[in-house]
Amino acid sequence: MAKRTSLLIGPDEKVSKFEATILGLQHVLAMDVYVPPIILAGILAMSSADAMGLLQATFLAAGVGTLLQTVIFMKIPVSQGPSFVPLTAAAGIVLANGGLHGKGIATLLGSSLIGSIFLILLGLTGVFHKIINKFVPPVVGGTIITCVGLSLIPAALKDNIFAAPGNIFQNIELASITAVVLIFCIAMSLRIPKLEKIFKTSSIVVALLVGTSVAATMGRFNWSQVASAPLFSFPQRTILHWGLDFSLTPIITFIIIYIILTAETTGTWFAMSAVTGCDISKKQWNNGIIGEGASCICSTLLGATPVTGYSTNAGIVSITGVASKHVFISAGIWFIILGFFSKLSAFLATVPAPVIGGVFAIITVTIMLNGLKVIRNVETEESDLYVIGIPIVLTMALLLVPKKVVAVTPQLLQYLLGSPIAVAAIVAVILKLIMPKYRGRLAKK
């Protein structure tokens, strides 16, 4: 059932090929897809060839996964990308099994493959929809969306701006310029109705281009990295290069990680549903988790870490007002192009982090506010104050908790604590189940 939204173009509406191409690239530019593989490559001290191979594989997996979900499985505008959650576990598995020169990567890929099959079975049996239908009512869904946006804010501000490489004052300046340009475009779209579509749909691309141009004048754009990258290359670090190896402990670890990732992805789908105003059907829930597993199998075969639903795109849709599936198909094709055209992927990877952060910060806030909007439209009970509030507090707590505190907990618990969204979702579900009902209702405003 469609709900009232402020979209300019709905999910099933068509756009011209030119618009789809530009707007698809806009999604790619605003997604920091290249960051997780670069982080993992750094942890494992990969050679430049291995690191580039991992980056290529990630782009290709994101592209194929996006097309699988948007066109075949879930059939809603959704994009796939690498999650940060498995990185620590992935590095640990590789190092514990002989590293890059032993069976490390082969064991990682074997574990990921089994976890992917587990997700597909979850969807084929129809269990996934029953879990969502029973345990995730609208107030819980809205809370999860809110926590998704909230959990991304520190990454946007700290990782991309305050703690990013380079002069911190320049970082703040670049992020501010990028954010101001984005807000200016949005303001113009609201003030001049005739130009609404032009300004709103192109707002993120314009902001990123201006931010990158300013960064280039500061000497903050690494042209040498782009120049040294080959123009075109096939992936060299696939499963054919690394092989497959199966070990029980890593497999159990990755199944648990996939369960955590599923909780995160559920939040992403709720967020996109809220932004587009379209409910997700029983069939879509089950097909979605099958598509998630298929995407992860693809990433495994290509030699990358799991690619899952990316929450950033819901914020982009909210800002641009364009939710057409044709745009997401274009984004998937762009990712595939980036996987083969190494120079182009190197160019995007050198866009300064503060420029991304300036846009990312606003995107995360729109996701959070869409969650609050869902909650606002639900007739809540007095007990729901805690169902909503406690997960938000826990999300903030896990974002601020010192790493040394998390480091002394058992390894499996560390994976869970590394995903504030998963913890928030689990706690919200539990609180909704155990809190008493009908002890007083809160009036909707």
Domain that holds residue 141: 17-432
Torsion of CA 45, 50, 56, 58, to 10 degrees: -50
Q: How many domains does the chain have?
A: 1
Asked whether residue 440 is assigned to any structural domain, the reply reads: no
For 322-358, write each residue's pLDDT tens digit: 999 999 999 999 999 999 988 877 777 778 889 988 9
Asked whether residue 10 is assigned to any structural domain, the reply reads: no
Asked whether residue 277 is assigned to any structural domain, the reply reads: yes
Specify the higher pLDDT residue, 370 or 65. 65
Q: What 3-state DSSP class applies to 9?
A: strand
Asked whether residue 199 is assigned to any structural domain, the reply reads: yes
pLDDT, residue 32, reads 76
Asked whether residue 4 is assigned to any structural domain, the reply reads: no
Asked whether residue 443 is assigned to any structural domain, the reply reads: no
Asked whether residue 441 is assigned to any structural domain, the reply reads: no
* Average pLDDT score over the chain: 89
Any residues with CB less than 8 A from the CB of 191 and at least 6 apart, and which?
A: none
The HSE-up count of residue 322 (CA atoms within 13 Å, CB side) is 27
28 pLDDT higher than 50: yes
The pTM score is 0.82
Most confident of 168-177, 212-221, 401-410: 168-177
441 pLDDT higher than 60: no
Asked whether residue 444 is assigned to any structural domain, the reply reads: no
pLDDT, residue 439, reads 55
User: Hey, what amino acid is at 396?
Assistant: M
